Amino acid sequence: MTTIERKRSRARFWLGYFAAWLGLGLWLGLNVIIGHRNSGSGIAPWEPLTWELSSVVLMSVLAIAVFHVERRFPLSGSDALRRLPLHLAAALVFSLLHTCGMVAIRQVVYAAHASVYRFGDWRLGLAYEFQKDLISYAAIIGFCIAWRAVRARRERELTMIRLERDLGQARLAQLTA
């Protein structure tokens, strides 16, 4: 693969990555809008979209950070339990960044709509967001572990193919000698 092809492949990957997160945010936002409409509460569509998109935009960036943390300190293998406290601390930081970032984005968007975003009681809000973010962090970690397992299996298969090819070439060389 040439350098240009690699760059295009990476660009397609990142475009798809962020498009998937954006699609998720729009889908979640539309579901909240539908839920509010079904309950009879009048809410401007930009509000649920702001709530959900602010969350997934930050989640898309934080997921990359979690990927790097998990790669550096894998939660698999014989000493995975020893790394668990580090990941619990990372999950706490993840949740704090996610929550504070969401609130900041929402406050800016609400101000642009001449309104005020109220997060409410910070202790309750952080506890509420932490329990959701812990599930998100665990899901991202699970994806990282699965991704690494698939890549390792693929590498083993490629190694076997190369060994079989080399063995076939060696046999052919021996026969022709």
Residue 150 pLDDT: 93
Q: pLDDT-derived band of residue 77, with 50, 70 and 90 as boundaries? A: confident
The CA R_g of the chain, rounded to the nearest whole Å, is 23
Q: How many domains does the chain have?
A: 1
Q: What is the pLDDT of residues 86-109, one digit of tens each?
A: 999 999 999 999 999 999 999 999
Model confidence at 165: pLDDT above 80: yes
Its domain, for residue 16, covers 3-176
Instruction: Check: CB of residue 170 under 8 Å from CB of residue 96.
Output: no
Q: pLDDT-derived band of residue 133, with 50, 70 and 90 as boundaries? A: very high
Average pLDDT over residues 106-123: 95
Q: Report how far residue 94's alpha carbon sits from residue 118's, in angstroms, rounded to the nearest whole number.
A: 21
Residue 75 pLDDT: 87
- Helix, strand, coil % in the chain, rounded to nearest 5: 85, 0, 15
Average pLDDT over residues 55-63: 96
Token readout for 32 is: 């909240």
- The count of residues in the chain is 177
Average pLDDT over residues 133-143: 96
46-72 helix and 3-39 helix, angle to the nearest 10 degrees: 140
Least reliable range by pLDDT among 53-62, 94-103, 157-166: 157-166
Model confidence at 42: pLDDT above 80: no
Residue 120 pLDDT: 92
Model confidence at 1: pLDDT above 80: no
Token readout for 37 is: 């409409």
Residue in 73, 17, 51 with CA at minimum distance from that of residue 129: 51
Residue in 133, 101, 103, 96 with CA at minimum distance from that of residue 119: 103
